């Protein structure tokens, strides 16, 4: 049976669910349940894909595990095409998973404009699904821009007191980057059309465009800028801490859990195959930016007084490590960084969830208002410590597997970078332990009334903790999924494949 239509369902079900949520918004209870149930259906659909035993099939849009391809704007040669491979499968799983977490944590905290809130949340999920599956550049670009809208409103309406500044900053940064990408995209489209007479936005066709090194360099730079802002790489990262601090918990979770991954993903999926020569030339730059990001953000994180900002900076540091892997371009490091996308999505989301819970109780995110919380909320403390350990890469938990693969893989190709990266991981340990210390340990502040996590919250945390342990102890199946993605790149870009080896 041809199950490829499932991809369409996966993309449009959340959008549909969002509309339902919008129209049931006047009955908040119903709206929440509808959103939750539809999201669970979405997640089950994706989990179903894991069990289908999919095999890569060569089609008109390339070799994918599953693909759909429909004519869309025929005049432009744009087609609506989606493709699934191991990496995108894991990322859409992550998206659906994180989205359920978002719905659950907003269950009681969001009381204003419930319908619109869930609409934006689900609409964002739909966008991200499309983003991770798109194989046509026009589709990709449109979704890339549209996904800003729900995020913009999530921060701007339900955020904290300085939300307008944050949401506009977010918008301007993202827009600034992607405008250049648009120009490059149109240029590529035109060049390809001139060369072959066939105007198309299909990734597979466009990778075969002949470009002079200079043109390729410029076009690649434009793409890189857009994706670097999203990742974010130092020095275009300053929007992230601001947006995180102002965003509602669900917004932060979505942002850290998934949105940051789109930059890395797009770099790997689009920019690298489209401009292999320039990409290869840029690898030392990527490594350098990654290292700088890792040290710089890790260092700054220590000085933070706002716990949410600290977690935001830790995201930048973690993304830096993944970018290093992209720059050293080695099978082990790449597999590790793919896994790390997922791991970071889970662990950092969990930390943001817990910070949100703290904020609810203390009405503050300043370290000066915390301390000694373990005494009053031991279960919370246990979970917080657990996720903090996951973030600092304790072996046996998820982050370690990704990190050690990146580190060892990096060392095989560029020992010096590998050693620096090993040292960089030490910074993570320092600030994470400091965070735990300032938050949980020390003298308890007596006058404050806090309550430990209740059953509803424990449920969320357990759901988050399960994959942390599972990936930490048995990452095999996921790593095997990524093999197909790496082969895919080899297929698309033989030039890059040589460097990848293995």
Interacting stretch for other proteins, rule CB under 8 A, among 25-33, 37-45, 88-96, 419-427?
419-427
Q: How far is the CB of 437 from other proteins (least distance, A)?
A: 6
Q: Pull the structure tokens for residue 294.
A: 């890792």
Q: Pull the structure tokens for residue 389.
A: 């350990």
What angle (nearest 5°) sits at the alpha carbon of residue 128, between those of residues 471 and 428?
45
- Residue from 440, 464, 481, 489 in contact with other proteins (CB under 8 A): 440
- Cα–Cα distance between 492 and 475 in angstroms, integer? 27
Residues 312-331 that bind other proteins (CB under 8 A): 331
Please report whether residue 462 would count as binding other proteins according to CB under 8 A. Answer: no
CA 79 from centre of chain: 26
Q: Identify the DSSP state of 366.
A: B
Please report whether residue 445 would count as binding other proteins according to CB under 8 A. Answer: no
Contact 201, 79 (CB under 8 A): yes
- Residue from 47, 172, 462, 470 in contact with other proteins (CB under 8 A): 172
Q: Pull the structure tokens for residue 455.
A: 């059953």
Interacting stretch for other proteins, rule CB under 8 A, among 118-126, 361-369, 423-431, 489-497?
423-431
- Residue from 119, 140, 152, 204 in contact with other proteins (CB under 8 A): 152
Please report whether residue 304 would count as binding other proteins according to CB under 8 A. Answer: yes
CA distances to 160, 372, 454, 486 from 166, in Å? 10, 31, 31, 37
Residues 466-485 that bind other proteins (CB under 8 A): 473-476, 479
Q: Which is nearer to other proteins, 48 or 303 (CB)?
A: 303
Q: Which is nearer to other proteins, 156 or 257 (CB)?
A: 156
Which segments of 329-377 does DSSP mark as H helices, in order? 331-362, 373-376
Please report whether residue 302 would count as binding other proteins according to CB under 8 A. Answer: yes
Please report whether residue 156 would count as binding other proteins according to CB under 8 A. Answer: yes
Q: Pull the structure tokens for residue 250.
A: 């669900």
Q: Which is nearer to other proteins, 171 or 267 (CB)?
A: 171
Please report whether residue 430 would count as binding other proteins according to CB under 8 A. Answer: yes
- Residue from 58, 415, 451, 470 in contact with other proteins (CB under 8 A): 415
Placement of tokens 């307008």 in the chain: 164
| Neighbouring-strand partners of residue 83 | 67
Please report whether residue 296 would count as binding other proteins according to CB under 8 A. Answer: yes
Q: How far is the CB of 154 from other proteins (least distance, A)?
A: 12
Contact 473, 401 (CB under 8 A): no
396 dihedral zone (left: phi>0; alpha: psi -120 to 50; beta): left
Q: Which is nearer to other proteins, 219 or 440 (CB)?
A: 440
Residues 378-407 that bind other proteins (CB under 8 A): 378-379, 382, 389, 394-396, 400-401, 404-405, 407
Residues 55-114 that bind other proteins (CB under 8 A): 75-76
Q: How far is the CB of 400 from other proteins (least distance, A)?
A: 8
**Of 89, 100, 104, nearest in space to 38 by CA:** 100
Please report whether residue 144 would count as binding other proteins according to CB under 8 A. Answer: no
- Cα–Cα distance between 477 and 420 in angstroms, integer? 30
Q: Coil, helix or strand for 52?
A: coil
Q: How far is the CB of 192 from other proteins (least distance, A)?
A: 13
Q: Which is nearer to other proteins, 41 or 450 (CB)?
A: 450
Q: Which is nearer to other proteins, 74 or 111 (CB)?
A: 74
461 dihedral zone (left: phi>0; alpha: psi -120 to 50; beta): alpha
Contact characters 238-267, other proteins, x per CB under 8 A: x-----------------------------
Q: How far is the CB of 500 from other proteins (least distance, A)?
A: 10
The H or E element that residue 68 is part of is strand 66-73
Q: How far is the CB of 391 from other proteins (least distance, A)?
A: 13
What angle (nearest 5°) sits at the alpha carbon of residue 209, between those of residues 208 and 212?
130
What is the DSSP code string of 452-480? Answer: ---HHHHHHHHHHHHHHHHHHH--HHHHH
Residues 175-204 that bind other proteins (CB under 8 A): 175, 179, 182, 186, 190, 193, 199
Placement of tokens 């357990």 in the chain: 462
Q: How far is the CB of 328 from other proteins (least distance, A)?
A: 12
Please report whether residue 416 would count as binding other proteins according to CB under 8 A. Answer: no
| Neighbouring-strand partners of residue 78 | 73
- Cα–Cα distance between 11 and 151 in angstroms, integer? 17
Please report whether residue 159 would count as binding other proteins according to CB under 8 A. Answer: no
- Residue from 145, 280, 359, 360 in contact with other proteins (CB under 8 A): 145
Q: Pull the structure tokens for residue 328.
A: 């050293």
- Residue from 19, 423, 459, 462 in contact with other proteins (CB under 8 A): 423
Site size for other proteins (CB under 8 A): 78
| Neighbouring-strand partners of residue 68 | 82
């Amino acid at each position: 049976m041809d199950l490829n239509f499932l991809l369409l369902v996966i993309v449009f079900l959340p959008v549909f669910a969002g509309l339902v949520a919008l129209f049931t918004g006047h009955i908040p209870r119903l709206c929440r349940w509808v959103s939750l149930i539809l999201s669970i259906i979405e997640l089950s659909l994706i989990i179903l894909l894991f069990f289908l035993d999919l095999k890569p099939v060569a089609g008109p849009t390339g070799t994918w595990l599953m693909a759909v391809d429909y004519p869309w704007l025929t005049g432009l040669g744009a087609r609506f095409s989606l493709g699934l491979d191991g990496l995108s499968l894991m990322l859409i799983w992550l998206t659906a998973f994180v989205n359920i977490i978002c719905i659950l944590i907003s269950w009681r905290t969001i009381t204003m404009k419930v319908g619109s809130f869930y609409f934006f949340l689900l609409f964002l999920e739909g966008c991200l699904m499309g983003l991770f599956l798109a194989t046509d550049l026009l589709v990709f670009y449109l979704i890339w821009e549209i996904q800003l809208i729900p995020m913009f409103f999530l921060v701007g309406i339900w955020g904290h007191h300085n939300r307008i500044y944050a949401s506009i900053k977010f918008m301007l940064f993202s827009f600034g980057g992607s405008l250049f990408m648009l120009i490059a995209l149109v240029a590529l489209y035109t060049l390809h059309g001139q060369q072959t007479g066939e105007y198309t936005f299909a990734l597979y066709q466009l990778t075969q465009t002949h470009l002079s090194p200079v043109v390729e360099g410029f076009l690649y730079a434009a793409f890189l800028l857009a994706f670097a802002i999203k990742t974010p790489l130092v020095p275009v990262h300053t929007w992230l801490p601001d947006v995180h601090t102002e965003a509602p918990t669900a917004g932060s979770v979505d942002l850290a859990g998934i949105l940051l991954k789109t930059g890395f993903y797009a770099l790997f999926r689009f920019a690298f195959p489209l401009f292999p020569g320039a990409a290869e030339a840029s690898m030392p730059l990527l490594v350098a930016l990654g290292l700088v990001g890792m040290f710089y953000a890790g260092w700054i994180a220590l000085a933070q007084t706002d716990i949410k900002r600290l977690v935001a900076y830790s995201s930048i540091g973690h993304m830096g490590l993944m970018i290093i892997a992209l720059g050293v371009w080695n099978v082990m490091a790449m597999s590790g960084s793919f896994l790390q996308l997922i791991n970071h999505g889970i662990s950092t989301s969990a930390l943001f969830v817990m910070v949100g819970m703290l904020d609810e109780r203390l009405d503050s995110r300043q370290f000066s208002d915390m301390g000694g919380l373990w005494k009053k909320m031991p279960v919370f403390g246990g979970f917080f410590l657990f996720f903090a350990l996951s973030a600092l890469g304790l072996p046996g938990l998820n982050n370690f597997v990704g990190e050690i693969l990146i580190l060892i893989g990096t060392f095989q190709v560029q020992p010096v970078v590998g050693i620096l990266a090993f040292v960089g991981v030490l910074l993570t340990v320092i600030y994470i332990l400091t965070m735990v210390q300032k938050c949980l340990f020390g003298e308890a502040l007596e006058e404050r009334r806090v309550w430990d996590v209740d059953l509803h919250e424990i449920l969320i945390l357990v759901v988050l903790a399960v994959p942390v342990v599972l990936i930490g102890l048995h990452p095999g199946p996921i790593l095997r999924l990524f093999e197909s993605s790496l082969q895919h790149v080899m297929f698309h870009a033989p030039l890059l494949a040589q460097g990848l080896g293995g």
